[in-house]
């Protein structure tokens, strides 16, 4: 595990920002950290980057204590806050050179390193542009290049998609996937759950300082959806109404083993049957075979997959929904 926390807590006066957080992030993961404003996401990230000390508990990054080995942790971590400041009239190349010097990178190494990073984030053509003149998306990519200067193993990105237009979000998402393929581990927080769903291998859900769920996406989805759901569309027989055909399919399904529920949805734009089963793939195949054998003209049979928004609403009590969706 590249990140481990044990009983990590943080108090601000009498307010509990983090409450006994036990978190693990495996090497090579894209870990989505989900929660509303004030849930404890940024506090966790600031502790992992050694910018904030915990009130109690411990955290380790690549085996180094964030309390006892802060310099070693900083060599392993690249942090991208939700907003970053620059000096007026500073060019993109000057911005990266300034931070490269701060990281102690030798002057003779900087030009090639900066050129490579600008190419990676597709900003080579903007190397001499003033940072303040760049679009929000370009600034985010430049900030990401800055986090990569010292070749960290872990990238911690706090709301990187905030304020980006749809094209910039797609570009950022593809860039993060490329970084993951290069062996980087990425921890990313966001309120835009659909963005995380398309890139994350693991997720953690936090609310009011408490970690409610954490693990790989597939396992969490299975634990929250023990019954598999399928949508079935069909054609009625000659002289039969669609509503009657749907009811007949439902009656047939309810008599089959491993069918937890089946119901017709006639008010939808495309009327269909929703099927819940606790069986495996062979069971699902048998159900479909039974329908076809009985003369049901099946035109569509597809699994229904929960998304991160549904997962979040199931795990939390709903009081945080206005800050997330």
257 lies in which domain range?
A: 227-304
pLDDT of res. 323: 35
178 and 33 within one domain: yes
115 and 16 within one domain: yes
Boundary (domain end) residue, out of 194, 223, 252: 223
Domain count, the chain: 2
Q: Is 115 exposed, middle or buried (0-12, 13-18, 19+ CB in 10 A)?
A: middle
Q: Are 92 and 70 in contact (CB under 8 A)?
A: no
52 and 186 within one domain: yes
Is the pTM for the entire model greater than 0.85?
Answer: no
What the block records as the tokens of 9 is: 């807590």
Asked if residue 146 belongs to a domain, the reply is yes
pLDDT tier at 315, thresholds 50, 70, 90? low
Boundary (domain end) residue, out of 167, 192, 223: 223
216 and 244 within one domain: no
163 and 253 within one domain: no
233 and 218 within one domain: no
Boundary (domain end) residue, out of 191, 223, 255: 223
Report CA 251 to chain centroid distance, whole Å: 40
Q: What is the mean pLDDT of residues 152-178?
A: 81
Q: What percent of the chain has pLDDT over 90?
A: 35
pLDDT of res. 183: 86
CA angle 171, 77, 101 (to 5 degrees): 90
Report CA 152 to chain centroid distance, whole Å: 20
Reported as a single tens digit per residue, the pLDDT across 105-137 is 999 999 999 999 999 888 889 999 988 888 888
Q: What is the mean pLDDT of residues 74-91?
A: 82
Asked if residue 314 belongs to a domain, the reply is no
279 and 170 within one domain: no
Domain with 19 in it: what CATH number?
A: 3.40.50.300
179 and 134 within one domain: yes
Domain with 287 in it: what CATH number?
A: 3.30.70.100
185 and 69 within one domain: yes
Cα(140)–Cα(188) distance, rounded to whole angstroms? 13
Average of per-residue pLDDT values in the chain: 84
């Amino acid at each position: 595990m590249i990140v481990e926390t044990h009983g990590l807590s943080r108090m601000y006066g009498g307010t509990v920002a983090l409450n006994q957080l036990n978190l693990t992030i495996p090497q090579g993961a894209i870990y989505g950290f989900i929660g509303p404003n004030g849930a404890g996401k940024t506090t966790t990230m600031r502790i992992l980057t050694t910018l904030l000390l915990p009130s109690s508990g411990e955290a380790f990054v690549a085996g180094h204590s964030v309390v006892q080995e802060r310099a070693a942790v900083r060599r392993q971590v690249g942090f991208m806050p939700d907003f970053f400041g620059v000096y007026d009239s500073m060019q993109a190349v000057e911005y990266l050179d300034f931070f490269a010097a701060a990281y102690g990178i030798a002057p003779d190494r900087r030009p090639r390193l900066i050129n490579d990073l600008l190419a990676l984030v597709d900003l080579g053509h903007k190397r001499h542009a003033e940072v303040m003149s760049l679009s929000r998306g370009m600034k985010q990519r430049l900030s990401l290049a800055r986090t990569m200067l010292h070749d960290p193993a872990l990238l911690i990105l706090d709301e990187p998609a905030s304020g980006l237009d749809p094209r910039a979000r797609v570009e950022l998402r593809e860039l993060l996937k490329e970084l993951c393929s290069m062996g980087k581990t990425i921890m990313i927080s966001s309120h835009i759950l659909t963005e995380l769903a398309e890139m994350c291998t693991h997720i953690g859900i936090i609310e009011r300082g408490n970690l409610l769920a954490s693990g790989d996406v597939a396992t969490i989805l299975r634990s929250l959806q023990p019954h598999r759901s399928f949508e079935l569309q069909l054609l009625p027989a000659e002289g039969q109404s669609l509503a009657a055909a749907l009811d007949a399919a439902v009656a047939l399904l309810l008599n089959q083993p491993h069918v937890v529920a089946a119901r017709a949805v006639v008010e939808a734009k495309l009327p269909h049957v929703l099927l819940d089963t606790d069986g495996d793939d062979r069971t699902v195949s048998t159900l479909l075979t039974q329908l076809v054998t009985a003369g049901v003209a099946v035109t569509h049979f597809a699994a229904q997959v929960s998304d991160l928004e549904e997962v979040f609403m199931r795990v939390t009590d709903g009081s945080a929904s206005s800050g997330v969706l």
